[in-house]
Amino acid sequence: MSDNTYEAVIGLEVHAQLRTRTKMFCGCSTAFGAAPNSQTCPVCQGMPGTLPVINRRAIEFGIRTALAINCTVNADNRFARKHYYYPDMPKNYQISQYEEPLAEHGYLDIEVAGVARRIGIQRLHLEEDVGKLVHEGNLETAQSSQVDFNRAGVPLMEIVSMPDMRTSEEAAAYLKALRAIVVYLDVCDGNMEEGSLRCDANISLRRRGAKEYGTKVEIKNMNSFRNVQHALEYEIKRQARALDTGERIVQETRLWDPDKAHTVSMRSKEFAHDYRYFPEPDLPPLDLAPAWIDEVRATLAELPAAKRQRFMKDYALGAYDAEVLTQSRALADYFEAAAKGSANPKMVANWVLNEFLRVVPGDDQKAITLSPIKPENLKGLITLIEGGTISGTLAKSVFEDMFQSGEDASSIVARKGLTQVADAGALGAVVDRVLAEHAKVVEDYKAGKKAALGFLVGQVMKSTSGKASPSVVNALLIEKLPKV
Amino acid sequence: MLTALTIHELSARFRSGEATPSQAVREYLERIAALDPKVKAYLTVVPETALGQAAAADARFRSKAPLGPLDGIPLAVKDVFCTRGVETTCGSKILKGFVPPYDATVITRLRSAGAVLLGKLNMDEFAMGSSTENSAFFTTRNPWDLSRVPGGSSGGSAAAVAADLAAATLGTDTGGSIRQPAAFSGTVGFKPTYGRVSRYGLIAFASSLDQVGPFAKDVADTALMLQTIAGHDPMDSTSATIPVPDYAQALRLDVKGLRVGIPAEYFIDGLDPEVEAAVRAAIATLEDLGAKTESVSLPHTEYGLAAYYVIAPAEASSNLARYDGVKYGLRVPGARDLIDMYSRTRGAGFGAEVKRRVMLGTYALSAGYYDAYYGQAQKVRTLVLRDFQEAFKRVDVIVAPTTPGVAFKMGEREDPLQMYLNDVFTIPVNLAGLPGLAIPAGFTQAGLPIGLQIIGKAFDEATLLRVAKAYEAATPWRSRKPELAA
Amino acid sequence: MAEPKITMKEVDHVARLSRLALTDAEKERMRRELDGILSYIGKLRALDTEGVPPTSRAVPMTNVMREDEPRPSLSQDEMLANAPDRSGEFFRVPKIIEEPVEE
């Protein structure tokens, strides 16, 4: 098997659309879903005579991200023109960054199967997005195509990793970690299906122990973590097979086809594009003030990895639970608001993990914020359970009511008279009645069937409409049974 | 005749009520109809909108509330400026029929000042040329001799002012395209400091060199035009935030004690003796007026032309990449596929000079050649700039010929390299980004205009106007006009 | 005769990079003219520019940026008005094929 003969060398190039209100070089809105060609202006459409003007917030988002991935921010950085002809490129050059990118030399720490690895990041730079092409049918057979320039000019952040990844799992882990960061920082939606986060991979194989790199192949069209992993797995096998039979690996771009689960050659581009880069003459260079960079650094939110560690420590959570709770900043913030100062943070965690996530998606910031159950309300519910006011069983239906009505727990409990009954006197009468009604079960219990106790507890709960305190009922039964 | 007046003279008549903007516009339109078939300065005339604008100006003067010195003044602009709702071709087939949905910033400023737009003027295609013979449509004639070129690339803008077909015009200057036609046509042509005037809406040729400037009948008009168009524009990242002074002040100052530099390298063997004589006489006039002259050296002058012919085509090849038949302009029908469409459209839509420069520029930027060509040229540019900075430590302005010769006959300069040599005195000023103007300084025996070039420090347009005004006041050239019969 | 600075092969390559369809006659003429111009430009190589920074501007500028505030976009009709081939709300272009191999 060629698994041990070859080592995969993988680098990822990620493009993140920035969540600015306007485009990179003009004031058109970046909002999704507008009618085609209705969100453009002479600048982003590349009309004759137009000129770009840099969006300050895009630079800020770039700095923010660069700091979060441990890069050196280059105070002196410059935009450059990258030339190639394509109908989705209004000017037939893209304003990007080349020799002087915004940031370089960073890293991201990932963990795969318990093994920690540091993946190097070569550079981070900003550029403008291109328009959308709609082919009549598919690209190969279409007789014509249609162009929508709404997306042209939207700010993109390109992050290029070093070729430090060695397995498809590592690649998926890196992508997940990077996505979590850009979403946490509020600089990007991280939506791979919609294209606000895109990933291309460069992969080559070499014999284990070899120093030189093999021929690298670019893989495109992977629009989910799973697809990235599968595409790379496929490609590793394909290249290994080829190398085994002495075939030469062609340096080319291949597209991942998720339906057929294979990569397809995009007709060979053996030679690199001649992009004819030169510094953008319409944009003076940037010379970022250290004060600005410091300001951005000071506002960096706690990043996902750090938050996970803290949750595990502060709330005694296991690694898996911590990871689920920190899947989005919104969910993490929600949990913390409910858990801080709570009588039982662990119980809060369980309710969030089990009940809350059943009704609200964990990565849907809007749904979490608009949830009818506010964190304080959840905290309130937990307090009622902890204090024995309601039973754990009834609490679930209270929770559902809270979700429907937005009311707090106390109001619902009071209104519906759900307060747990823990009075031994009142419950004693009920217990006596149940024991009388189920003489056979009592005999079973006395004969040694401990499970019969559960049945009797259930009966008491039933006749009190669930309001009886299970622990008090239990104690009463254990006390009374031997005397029957 | 209102068409013979300067802006300031015309404006005075409007204010006194002796004439109205509508009268002036009608006279200009009549003169255009009568003479432009010979001069061929205009690509597009817009009589209806012009008369509409004039009527609005009439009303403002009647209620004694004019917008300023340009209110009601009939102007025309080089077809390189995007004008909303008016065809803008840039002298090229590839943009024939293109109607911009927006105005260039300088057009907006002129409109806000109440100026009336008469039409769009002919030019070398995409501003590449020194004779207007590269226009895809026709060649403009020099009003002083209709068998000769008016210069380029702003040939239409120069000819229109020389022939009184507009009170003043706008042109652009990338390597001399305002100053050289001004010199050939006996008008005042001003290229401001790079960044002084917004380039937003100016169809780009060479981004780091292009500048907008006026052609006018005299220095006072030049100051008025400059005052209106200059100043920072948030839509142009390269436009300067340095405040615009009151240029009218400069016109009142004399030149006593002003230090004038004469660059040795500009008095070369190839210089037409009549041009040299006129320039030397002009220097003597300045000395009579109290200026102190001294020799300066700009040693890298000869390399300026070579550097320009790398930088300008390189930037042009990039700026012209967008003309591809997809979104606007010409699309050649019947193409097999996209690439065929691109190539055929650009092949048919661009003229020979444009294709030459696009090829040259692409070559200079291509893999393996960047450092030797574009990279090196940008460094040579620094050397040219340093020459001027050194000289300006000792002098306030530099005075020189504008061109090595005078207006040549149509078809005379066929070799591209020969044509490029026309710009040898103007190009270094663009490379350095400094302000420069050309002012009438006499005529040859044959009656062809000669232009004196005055070059200044960055953002010191005021001193240039000062020197030009003093010189103009002391000389008779202004009063001579070309003989043009209908 | 001096060694030609630009070959016909390079002319072809540059014409392809520039997306310019040239006739054979145009190509030959272009080669000759570019040759002459490149020779003239060659004099730049003679200059020692060691340590000289490249310049674009007499008065240098940096950090020109704008706030992230929306400005009105133009309408669909205004933006499509100049389209050589308008297809409803889109610009239509002919069949897109792969780039030629020698890019």
pLDDT digits (tens, 9 = 90+) for A366-397: 889 899 999 999 998 988 888 877 877 788 88
Give the mean model confidence (pLDDT) for residues A79-100. 96
Nearest to B437 by CA among B473, B405, B470, B399: B399
CA distances from B436 to A84, B105, B220, B425 (A): 36, 22, 16, 11
| Smallest Cα distance from B335 to chain C, Å | 8
Is the Cβ pair B307, C44 closer than 8 Å?
yes
Nearest Cα residue in chain A from B90? A48
> Distance between CA atoms of A105 and A120, rounded to whole angstroms?
7
Give the mean model confidence (pLDDT) for residues B15-31. 97
Give the mean model confidence (pLDDT) for residues A14-21. 97
> Distance between CA atoms of A160 and A11, rounded to whole angstroms?
8
Could you write out the three-class secondary structure of A368-432? HHHCCCCHHHHHHHHHHHHCCCCCHHHHHHHHHHHHHHCCCHHHHHHHHCCCCECCHHHHHHHHH
Q: What is the pLDDT of residue C56?
A: 61
Q: What is the pLDDT of residue B486?
A: 61
Nearest to B276 by CA among B119, B435, B402: B402
For residues A155 and A12, the answer to whether their CB atoms sit within 8 Å is: no
Is the Cβ pair A49, B203 closer than 8 Å?
yes
Domain ranges in chain A with CATH number 1.10.10.410: 424-483
Confidence of residue A159 (pLDDT cuts 50, 70, 90): very high
Q: Could you state, in order of their start, the residue ranges of all structural domains in chain C?
A: 1-48
Give me the percent of chain B exceeding a pLDDT of 70. Answer: 100
For residues A24 and A191, the answer to whether their CB atoms sit within 8 Å is: no
For residues C86 and A141, the answer to whether their CB atoms sit within 8 Å is: no
Task: Tell whether C9 is within 8 A of chain B (Cβ).
Answer: no
> Distance between CA atoms of A406 and A391, rounded to whole angstroms?
20
Strands A262-265 and A253-257: antiparallel
Strands A80-83 and A93-96: antiparallel
Is the Cβ pair C55, B378 closer than 8 Å?
yes
Q: Does domain B2-261+394-479 have CATH number 3.90.1300.10?
A: yes
Reported as a single tens digit per residue, the pLDDT across B36-48 is 999 999 999 999 9
Reported as a single tens digit per residue, the pLDDT across B411-460 is 998 777 777 888 999 999 999 999 999 999 999 999 999 999 999 999 99
For chain B, how long is the longest CA-to-CA vector? Answer: 70
Could you write out the three-class secondary structure of B366-418? CCCCCHHHHHHHHHHHHHHHHHHHHHCCCCCEEEEECCCCCCCECCCCCCHHH
Q: What is the pLDDT of residue B326?
A: 96
Q: B153 preceded by cis ω (within 30°)? A: yes
Q: Is residue A206 pLDDT above 60, yes or no?
A: yes
Q: What is the pLDDT of residue A272?
A: 59
Give the mean model confidence (pLDDT) for residues A397-420. 85
Question: Which ipTM score applies to this complex?
Answer: 0.96
Instruction: Report, at the CATH architecture level, how domain A424-483 is classified.
Output: Orthogonal Bundle (1.10)
Confidence of residue A270 (pLDDT cuts 50, 70, 90): very low
Q: What is the CATH superfamily name and number for domain C1-48? A: Glu-tRNAGln amidotransferase C subunit, N-terminal domain (1.10.20.60)
Q: What is the pLDDT of residue B392?
A: 98
Reported as a single tens digit per residue, the pLDDT across B163-222 is 999 999 999 999 999 999 999 999 999 999 999 999 999 999 999 999 999 999 999 999
Q: Is residue A102 pLDDT above 60, yes or no?
A: yes
> Tokens 């507008």 identify what position?
A34
> Most B CBs within 10 Å: which of C20, C23, C27, as the mutation test of the B interface?
C20
Give me the percent of chain A exceeding a pLDDT of 90. Answer: 58
- By 3-state DSSP, what share of chain A in percent is helix, strand and coil, each rounded to 5? 40, 20, 40
Confidence of residue C101 (pLDDT cuts 50, 70, 90): very low
Please state the separation of Cα B455 from the chain's center in Å: 15
What are C58's two structure tokens? 């007499």
Is the Cβ pair A35, C89 closer than 8 Å?
yes
Q: What is the pLDDT of residue A446?
A: 84
What are A242's two structure tokens? 């080829």
Name residue B42's beta-bridge partners. Answer: B121
Confidence of residue C3 (pLDDT cuts 50, 70, 90): low
Q: Is residue A2 pLDDT above 70, yes or no?
A: no
- By 3-state DSSP, what share of chain B in percent is helix, strand and coil, each rounded to 5? 45, 15, 40
**Dihedral angle, C-alpha B142, B148, B154, B160, nearest 10 °:** 10
Q: pTM for this structure?
A: 0.90
Q: Which residues of chain A make contact with C70, given a CB cutoff of 8 A? A: 21-22, 27-29
- Max mean pLDDT among A433-447, B411-425, C77-91 falls in C77-91
Give the mean model confidence (pLDDT) for residues A60-83. 97
Strands B211-216 and B259-263: unpaired
Q: What is the pLDDT of residue A302?
A: 84
Q: Could you state, in order of their start, the residue ranges of all structural domains in chain B?
A: 2-261+394-479, 301-379
What are A462's two structure tokens? 């039933």
Question: Treating both helix axes as pointing N-terminal to C-terminal, what angle do B352-365 and C8-17 enclose, rounded to 10 degrees?
Answer: 100
What are A381's two structure tokens? 């519910």
Q: What is the pLDDT of residue C98?
A: 62
CA distances from C93 to A129, B40, C100 (A): 19, 37, 18
Cβ burial, residue A436 (10 Å; 0-12/13-18/19+): exposed
Confidence of residue C103 (pLDDT cuts 50, 70, 90): very low
Reported as a single tens digit per residue, the pLDDT across B232-243 is 999 999 999 999
Q: Which residues of chain A make contact with B102, given a CB cutoff of 8 A? A: 42, 47
Task: Tell whether A133 is within 8 A of chain B (Cβ).
Answer: no
Reported as a single tens digit per residue, the pLDDT across C6-59 is 899 999 999 999 999 999 999 999 999 889 888 888 889 889 999 999 886 777
Amino acid identity for residue A451 in this structure = A
Residues of B designated catalytic: 78, 153, 177
Mean pLDDT, chain B, as a whole number? 96
